[in-house]
Structure 1
Amino acid sequence: MNDMFDVVIIGAGPSGSVAASLLAKHDVRVLMLEKLDFPRFIIGESLLPQSMEFLEKADLLKGVIEHGFQFKNGAAFGCADQSSLIDFRLKYSEGWGTTYQVQRASFDHLLAKEAAAKGTDIRYNHEVIDIDLSQDISRLKVKDAQGNESEIKCKFILDASGYGRVLPRLLDLERPSSFPVRNALFTHMEDQLCIKEFDRNKILITVHPEQHDIWYWLIPFSDGTSSVGVVVRPEVLDKYKGDNSEKLWTLLREAKELGALLDGAEEIRPVGQLSGYSCDVSSLCSDKYALLGNAGEFLDPVFSSGVTIALKSADLVVPPLLKQLNGEKVDWEKEYADPLKIGVTCFKTFVESWYEGSLQKIIFNPPEGDNSIRDMIISILAGYAWDEKNPFVTQPKKYLEMVAAQCP
């Protein structure tokens, strides 16, 4: 099989489906290669409002709205007897103020099916095992589920493989992250929250009462289940006894309010573990390829930025890609990498501030006075990390430190 395409997208996750759907509007011949069969389980279930803009632009939003996913309008934070609520609708930036909490198996499959309906050729159970970028036309060696190998040719490659990070591995682009190594334990539960006082319209982020770099997520879904997880340094996790499930429940009960909230909850899938998930690369793009979302850089799950960065990257990559396919010269760093890094750098600074403690201080003990500062911070937490009218986008470290210094 010697197929020729304009663009090959590696991975059928959200960034791949959005890029494919946007390219379909311009009659670009696209092939999407997915290593697994869909639907498949993956974490990263809490979307941010900014994501809605990109889904809408790709004509994918209608199906998401009609599916019946859990409505989301903000985030709740807790630490021992401290609590705080953030309403995304109070954000400084223009745009969507609400979104959804989604089971990714259903969400990703829905988007992929929509992309296929728009003309994208999707081949599941196809793994990219080698790549040759040495000629004008790139070549990918692909293996199917039966072990048969074939060659695919294309003019450009988009890596939307997420944690698989196919091109970074094959092209030796991977570089160590500046973030310390952390582990995540996670599962889905029958949560029993319907009989308790709990706002299912918000993600709950809980901080360990004594070790403030340990935090938990609780993401409710519309069917009475929730995604539950904890992020902890590996040397701390090693001190806990038992299997992943026993470690998770021990940690949950150390945060007494969260443990009480989940009393009676039951796991409906085995507790999984991710280790050392933060990553970086030496290059996001060239005139042969571009890395989308997690394939380029994954920060940390604390602010649910992963899907937003993925969708933003898909939206950003299409205009320069169309130019290049049209025979025009493209400065890929200036037209794709640099704009994407604006938001990634902003999110990265917020993550660093969270673990350093300043952002937790702001969230639990906000300074009194002008609400505009609050609204600017909410904008970032709602995903608007590319709005350069917001000083927390252009100089996040400076302004976070300034606000933290004013907190009681």
Structure 2
Amino acid sequence: MNHTPSVTQCSQTDIDVVIIGAGPSGSIAASLLHQQGKRVVVLEKMQFPRFSIGESLLPCCMKLLEEANMLDAVNAAGFQFKNGAAFRYQDQYTHFDFTDKFTPGPGTTFQVERASFDKLLADTATEQGVEIRYDQTVESVDLSASPKLTVRDEDGERYTIEAKYLLDASGFGRVLPRLLALEKPSSLANRSAVFTHIQDNIGDKKVEDKAFDRNKILVSVHPKNKDIWYWLIPLSDTKCSVGVVGEPHLLGDIEHNLQDLLMTMIEQEPSLSYLLSDAEVLRDCALFNGYSANVSTLATDKFALLGNAGEFLDPVFSSGVTIAMQSASMAVKCAVRQLNGTQVDWEKEYCAPLMRGVDTFRTYVEAWYDGRFQDVIFYQDPDNKIKQMICSILAGYAWDETNPFVHDSQKRLNLIVELCK
């Protein structure tokens, strides 16, 4: 006989906000709410540390970490320093120095193993006084009155928890989009990523024509197919994350030996193959498949979706964690006002402002894959002021509307594309 655990009704009406997920957006949102004197409970499905993708932060993240009083802990953790992004296509190599940008703010950041980074943020939130419950699976949500969740704990027992507001920071778990039927097709093509961690053994392979800077993410374009690109993210002096991205039919047989597929693809890019000729694989290769996602609703007066629980674009410019942190900061400001008795127009005050930055990133992601932005990046004689404005976006400052390439991203980019021709 199957035993179905009973549901325990928890009398917890003093909870202001329940947050689903303890990743970067969940931990930062919880910290910010706690600072405002709100009682928060975070429900995390996994035990930390746990593996996650999205290892190259953007400098914009640093001001959001500072807002959550987490910057000192991150600075002290010994993560790999990052000051820019480098791009290679055939014999062309260029880079962006994030300290040489249009928008004020931090110009350096870190490249991180997400298992330890996410645990650090969650542990810091806990030290600040936030309650995080691990091994908690949200099974259903009732929004007929105050948000009420049915949760299964680590022992398989079910209980309900009620709050005045609900934030979904579940990332690719996309709990509320799944439970509330909010899923919507992405405007971006279906792509896949195959990736792993390696002992790179690059050593002194830094001759001029094979440039490599451990302080920058390296994005390499396939020499014969510009729809395929590679990331190489240094995580320490000897370790890197490496991956290849493309539409499934371009990558080959993604259903079988992923390591063979990844290594075969790396061999097709001569500079990357040279750099990694002595590399040793440290973990099983993983497949990140059909990752672009969207939703019909980002927020109401009952809930808001943060980061990847709402919309995920593409890993090419490492925007995922930045959007997650930015959404946490913006949603908390609205939630606190609502909890304090002010009526909030969530569409006008959260969704639209958040999407202005997301749509800026979208402009450059779409232009990367149709080739226009690649032509701009590899242009041989760039105007320095224009490069600084584009650099600001690559550094994560996609919400700075004083930047013409944010304020009118499509028009400005098309103008530069024409000038480059």
Q: Same fold (TM over 0.5)?
A: yes
Aligned partners of 1:146 and 1:190: how far apart in 2? 38
Contact 2:88 2:220 in 1 (8 A): yes
Structure-to-structure mapping, 1:17-28, within 5 angstroms: 17-28=27-38
The answer to whether structure 1 residue 64 and structure 2 residue 74 are counterparts is yes
The answer to whether structure 1 residue 406 and structure 2 residue 415 are counterparts is no
Aligned to 1:353, which of 362, 367, 372? 367
Per the TM alignment, residue 387 of structure 1 is displaced from its structure 2 partner at its CA by 0.4
Structure 1 stretch displaced more, 241-250 or 170-179: 241-250
Contact 1:35 1:127 in 2 (8 A): yes
Q: For residues 194-226 of structure 1, what are the alpha-carbon distances to aligned partners after superposition, in whole Å with 9 as ceiling and x for unaligned?
A: 332231100000000011010000000125211
Aligned partners of 1:194 and 1:316: how far apart in 2? 43
For residue 220 of structure 1, what is the amino acid of its counterpart? P
Is the alpha carbon distance of 1:242 and 1:152 closer, same or farther for their aligned partners in structure 2, counting shifts above 3 Å? closer
The answer to whether structure 1 residue 255 and structure 2 residue 269 are counterparts is yes
The answer to whether structure 1 residue 83 and structure 2 residue 93 are counterparts is yes
Aligned to 2:135, which of 114, 120, 125? 125
Q: For residues 291-310 of structure 1, what are the alpha-carbon distances to aligned partners after superposition, in whole Å with 9 as ceiling and x for unaligned?
A: 00000000000000000000
Aligned to 1:160, which of 142, 165, 169? 169
Aligned to 1:202, which of 208, 216, 237? 216
Per the TM alignment, residue 118 of structure 1 is displaced from its structure 2 partner at its CA by 1.2
Aligned partners of 1:181 and 1:260: how far apart in 2? 30
Contact 1:367 1:403 in 2 (8 A): no
Q: For residues 366-391 of structure 1, what are the alpha-carbon distances to aligned partners after superposition, in whole Å with 9 as ceiling and x for unaligned?
A: 544x4111110001000010000111
Aligned partners of 2:41 and 2:332: how far apart in 1? 15
Structure-to-structure mapping, 1:8-407, within 5 angstroms: 8-135=18-145, 137-197=146-206, 198-238=212-252, 243-368=257-382, 370-407=383-420
Per the TM alignment, residue 323 of structure 1 is displaced from its structure 2 partner at its CA by 1.1
Q: For residues 254-286 of structure 1, what are the alpha-carbon distances to aligned partners after superposition, in whole Å with 9 as ceiling and x for unaligned?
A: 001101101111111100001110000001000
Per the TM alignment, residue 400 of structure 1 is displaced from its structure 2 partner at its CA by 1.0
SS of the residue aligned with 1:365? coil
Aligned partners of 2:252 and 2:100: how far apart in 1? 41
Structure 2: 5+ residue stretches without partners: 1-7, 207-211
TM-score (norm. length: structure 2): 0.94
For residue 406 of structure 1, what is the amino acid of its counterpart? L
Structure 1 stretch displaced more, 46-55 or 2-11: 2-11
Contact 2:192 2:289 in 1 (8 A): yes
Aligned partners of 1:298 and 1:242: how far apart in 2? 26
Contact 1:68 1:222 in 2 (8 A): no
Per the TM alignment, residue 241 of structure 1 is displaced from its structure 2 partner at its CA by 9.1
What RMSD over aligned residues (CA atoms) do the two structures have, in Å? 1.2
SS of the residue aligned with 1:90? coil
Q: For residues 306-350 of structure 1, what are the alpha-carbon distances to aligned partners after superposition, in whole Å with 9 as ceiling and x for unaligned?
A: 000000001101111111111211111111101101100000000
Contact 2:40 2:130 in 1 (8 A): yes
Aligned partners of 1:267 and 1:43: how far apart in 2? 17
Contact 2:248 2:254 in 1 (8 A): no
Structure 1: 5+ residue stretches without partners: none
Per the TM alignment, residue 23 of structure 1 is displaced from its structure 2 partner at its CA by 0.8
Contact 1:205 1:217 in 2 (8 A): yes
